[in-house]
């Protein structure tokens, strides 16, 4: 998709309203509960202000808003529990949007697989992002005396950094010697693909694994997963991706790109709720189960095992003979929370009504429109902020990170909040703005820019 180009007339509120009127995904906004300005300014617990003036919510890169389906799905789960108790594990109820509890994780995985470009049996709904990362590193990080390094992003989300550091220490290795951080050129924020490939070359002889974010949380840069994965494989590295900011944000093709493993959370662009159940991907080549030596001697990739990774046909035999589910399901550990799965399935039901290709098409236009309006009327010298997200629309998702001149952040944040605009700030000087195609509008982008520019006038 070519990057949208806007002319002078695009700077008017009428033009923004016209873009909204032409938006084929406009109806999806009504599937969500937009927090009201009154509620976000209140300190009291309140019912959603469905008739109140909505805020402008550009913080889906931290926490997506609640879909209207969530209440129905969670109530269905609670009603199942209340009405048939333990039978909910094995009974499909008519008029319920949810499968029996034993199949609920598979229901979620089937929907998530379409979002990440995978086969359904390559995806599992379970745990949370960092827990899943630990579980997969336990399976995929196999250091030797000569190949023990993990290559990661210089500004990896702290939880990823901690997980990698602790996994290295678990193997009695020194994180200072076994962690290789990829950073940008001096004074820059974007990390070129060529720089990443060069660093892979420099460390290939001693590196065991590459773990990068699909989208860098601070800058919003989208890494070239396909090219980087292919090159790292050619240098004999295992490749994993943290898709926390990529899941539900842009088109992914994990199976086609031959990614070894990936993890993600579902509460950002996925809208499944704070701390919601996460997901993981394991390529089918790593999920095979070989019974050549008999049913009692399955051969499979080593992982930390638990009873819910075992085939349902023998799960309740209690004979301590682990028969793993082929694919990512075999990496499951424990009985997953049905309430969490209900909320996740509710969020996924919205995604089931469209496609990532359609969402990405709108997202590119929304973000390009935001960029156009932000840069309009400024020259390079006078502009009091810098967009540190890549200019290339193919190298970014829904987020633009705005690096303000020192001393502006607190005033800008306060003015935005007073105007009923929710964005994410990162000390000391960055505002992250993320218009989400499922529920944000071009008119909201226009309004935000007017208020943001006014707030810069100190």
* DSSP per-residue letters across 177-217: HHEEEE--STT-----HHHHHHHHHHHTTTEEEEEEESB-T
pTM attached to this predicted model: 0.95
62 annotated to a ligand binding site: no
State mean pLDDT over 198-210.
Answer: 97
State mean pLDDT over 408-416.
Answer: 94
pLDDT of residue 51: 59
pLDDT of residue 49: 57
308 annotated to a ligand binding site: no
pLDDT of residue 50: 55
| Lowest-confidence pick of 221-225, 226-230, 236-240, 374-378 | 374-378
State mean pLDDT over 168-190.
Answer: 93
Q: Which percentage of the chain shows pLDDT scores above 90?
A: 85
pLDDT of residue 131: 97
Residue 339 pLDDT greater than 80, yes or no: yes
245 annotated to a ligand binding site: yes
What ranges in 380-437 are assigned the alpha helix state H? 409-418
| Lowest-confidence pick of 68-72, 142-146, 350-354, 424-428 | 424-428
Q: Topology of 13-61+355-456 in CATH?
A: 3.90.1150
List of residues 6+ apart from 139 with CB closer than 8 A:
261, 286, 301, 302, 303, 304, 331
192 annotated to a ligand binding site: no
Burial class (CB in 10 A: 0-12, 13-18, 19+), 363: buried
Q: Which percentage of the chain shows pLDDT scores above 70?
A: 99
| Lowest-confidence pick of 117-121, 377-381, 399-403 | 377-381
**C-alpha closest to that of 269 among 253, 250, 248, 287:** 248
307 annotated to a ligand binding site: yes
| Lowest-confidence pick of 113-122, 151-160, 362-371 | 151-160
267 annotated to a ligand binding site: yes
Instruction: Determine the Cα angle at 101 with ends 95 and 104, to 5°.
Output: 85
Domain 103-349 has CATH 1.10.260.40: no
305 annotated to a ligand binding site: no
429 annotated to a ligand binding site: no
pLDDT of residue 382: 84
pLDDT of residue 45: 87
pLDDT of residue 189: 92
Per-residue pLDDT band for 381 (boundaries 50, 70, 90) equals confident
Look at residue 378 and give its three-state secondary structure: coil
* Domain ranges for the chain: 13-61+355-456, 103-349
242 annotated to a ligand binding site: yes
335 annotated to a ligand binding site: yes
| Lowest-confidence pick of 38-42, 201-205, 363-367 | 38-42
In tens, the pLDDT along 84-121 reads 999 999 999 999 999 999 999 999 999 999 999 999 99
What ranges in 235-384 are assigned the alpha helix state H? 338-351, 356-375
- Give the whole-angstrom CA distance, residue 96 versus residue 90: 14
Average pLDDT of every residue of the chain: 95
pLDDT of residue 252: 98
Residue 257 pLDDT greater than 60, yes or no: yes
pLDDT of residue 17: 97
pLDDT of residue 294: 86
């Amino acid at each position: 998709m070519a990057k949208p180009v806007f002319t002078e007339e695009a700077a008017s509120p009428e033009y923004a309203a016209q873009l909204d009127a032409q938006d084929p995904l406009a109806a999806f906004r009504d599937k969500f509960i937009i927090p009201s300005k009154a509620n976000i300014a209140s300190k009291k617990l309140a019912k959603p202000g469905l008739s109140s003036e909505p805020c402008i919510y550009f913080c889906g890169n931290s926490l997506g808003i609640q879909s209207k389906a969530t209440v129905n799905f969670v109530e269905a789960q609670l009603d199942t529990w209340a009405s048939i108790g333990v039978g909910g594990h094995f009974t499909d109820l008519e008029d319920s949007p949810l499968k029996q509890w034993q199949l609920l994780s598979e229901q979620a995985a089937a929907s998530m697989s379409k979002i990440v470009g995978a086969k359904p049996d390559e995806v599992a709904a379970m745990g949370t992002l960092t827990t899943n990362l630990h579980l997969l590193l336990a399976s995929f990080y196999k250091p030797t005396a000569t190949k023990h390094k993990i290559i990661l992003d210089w500004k990896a989300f702290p939880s990823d950094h901690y997980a990698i550091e602790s996994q290295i220490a678990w193997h009695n290795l020194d994180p200072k010697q076994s962690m290789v951080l990829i950073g940008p050129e001096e004074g820059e924020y974007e990390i070129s693909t060529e720089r990443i490939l060069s660093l892979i070359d420099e460390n290939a002889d001693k590196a065991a694994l590459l773990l990068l974010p699909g989208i860098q949380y601070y800058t919003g840069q989208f890494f070239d997963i396909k090219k980087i994965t292919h090159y790292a494989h050619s240098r004999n590295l295992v490749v994993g991706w943290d898709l926390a900011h990529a899941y539900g944000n842009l088109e992914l093709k994990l199976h086609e790109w031959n990614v070894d493993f990936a993890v993600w959370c579902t509460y950002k662009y996925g809208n499944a709720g704070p701390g919601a159940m996460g997901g993981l991907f394991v390529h089918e080549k790593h999920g095979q189960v070989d019974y050549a030596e008999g049913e009692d001697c399955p051969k499979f990739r080593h992982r930390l095992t638990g009873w819910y990774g075992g085939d349902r046909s023998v799960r309740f035999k209690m004979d301590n003979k682990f028969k793993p589910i082929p694919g990512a399901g075999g990496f499951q550990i424990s009985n997953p929370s049905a309430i969490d799965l209900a909320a996740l399935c509710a969020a996924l039901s919205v995604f089931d009504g469209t496609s990532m290709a359609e969402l990405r098409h709108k997202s590119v236009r929304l973000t390009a429109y935001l960029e156009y309006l932000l840069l309009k009327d400024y020259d390079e010298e006078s502009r009091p902020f810098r967009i540190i997200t890549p200019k290339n629309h193919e190298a970014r998702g829904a987020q633009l990170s705005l690096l303000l001149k020192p001393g502006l952040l607190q005033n800008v944040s306060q003015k935005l909040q007073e105007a009923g605009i929710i964005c994410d700030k990162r000390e000391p000087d960055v505002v992250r703005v993320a218009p989400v195609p499922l529920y944000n509008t071009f008119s909201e982008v226009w309004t935000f820019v007017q208020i943001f520019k006014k707030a810069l006038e100190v």
